[in-house]
Amino acid sequence: MKRLKYLFAAAALCLLLPLSGCGGAPSLLQYNADGTVAMPQEGEKVAVMTVKGFGEIVIRLFPEQAPKTVENFTTLAEQGYYDGLTFHRVVKDFMIQGGDPRGDGTGGKSAFGGAFEDEFSDSLYNFTGAVSMANAGPNTNGSQYFINEGSSSPISEEYFAAVVNYNKNQRGYGRESFDPAVKELYGKVGGNPLLDGAHSVFGQVVEGMDVLHAVASVPTHDNPDTGEQGSVPDEEIIVESIRIEAYHAG
146 is catalytic: yes
DSSP 144-196: -EEEE---SSPPPHHHHHHHHHHIIIIIS-S-S---HHHHHHHHHH-B-GGGT
| Active-site option among 62, 87, 94, 178 | 94
135 is catalytic: yes
| Active-site option among 146, 160, 178, 202 | 146
| Active-site option among 195, 202, 204, 223 | 195
| Active-site option among 60, 88, 175, 199 | 199
16 is catalytic: no
* List of residues 6+ apart from 49 with CB closer than 8 A: 56, 57, 58, 59, 208, 239, 241, 242
| Active-site option among 19, 54, 72, 89 | 89
94 is catalytic: yes
| Active-site option among 30, 65, 72, 135 | 135
Whole-number Å distance between alpha carbons of 147 and 28? 18
| Active-site option among 97, 144, 192, 204 | 97
Dihedral sign from CA coordinates of 203, 246, 48, 115: negative
89 is catalytic: yes
Catalytic residues: 89, 94, 97, 135, 146, 195, 199
